[in-house]
Amino acid sequence: VRFRRRAPLSLPDAEQLLQKAREQLRKLREEGVSHGDLRRAETKVRGAIAEVARAKKPPGSPQIVSEVQALKIGDIGLVGVPGEPFTETVLAIKQCSPFAATAAVSYANDEIGYFPDARSVSAGTYEVLKSPFGSDAAEVLREAALRTLRNART
C-alpha cells in the first residue's frame, strides 16, 4: 500500500508552532486546569517538537510503502495494519468487513506511525503532528484493509 507523505512545515513555522504550544501549556499550568487538559497540552508540545525535528530533516520520498494483510479463521477476519489507526477508522473497517467478526491488529509487520483521519488533522493533536502521513491516510488504510479482507474471504 502506498501512503502519501505529509510535507513538513517550514522550520520557522514549526518553531512558531512549538512556541505557541509551550505558551499554551504555561498558561494552562498557571490556571490550574485539570490533569486531562494539561496532558493534552503536554502532548501537543511533544508533537510540535517532532514537527521541528521533521522540518530540520531533508525531505524523504513522497510516499511511504508498507503492507496490509488479512487472515481468515472461520468467519473471523483479522487485518494487520502497519501502524496505529484512529478508532473511527477501525470501526469503519469492522462495519464494512465481509466477515461476521473482524479485528484490526495494529503494528503488524511495520511501525510507520499514526493514521489520522481528515477530521483529526484539523485538530493538530500530538498524533497528527507525529504522523508522517497526509490527511488521506486513514481512508487509504481503510480501503486497503477492506480490499485485503475481501480477498481473504474468497
pLDDT tens digits along 51-79: 999 899 887 788 999 999 999 999 999 99
pLDDT value, residue 10? 93
CB 131 within 8 A of CB 111: no
Cα–Cα dist 10/28, whole Å:
27
pLDDT recorded at residue 120? 84
pTM, to two decimals:
0.82
**What single letter denotes the amino acid at residue 136?**
D
pLDDT digits (tens, 9 = 90+) for 13-57: 999 999 999 999 999 999 999 999 999 999 999 999 999 998 998
Q: For residue 13, what are the contacts with CB-CB under 8 A and spacing of at least 6? A: 55
What cell was used for 21?
504550544
Looking at every residue in the chain, the average pLDDT score rounds to 93
CA dihedral 25, 26, 28, 32 (to 10 degrees): 130
Contact 111, 130 (CB under 8 A): no
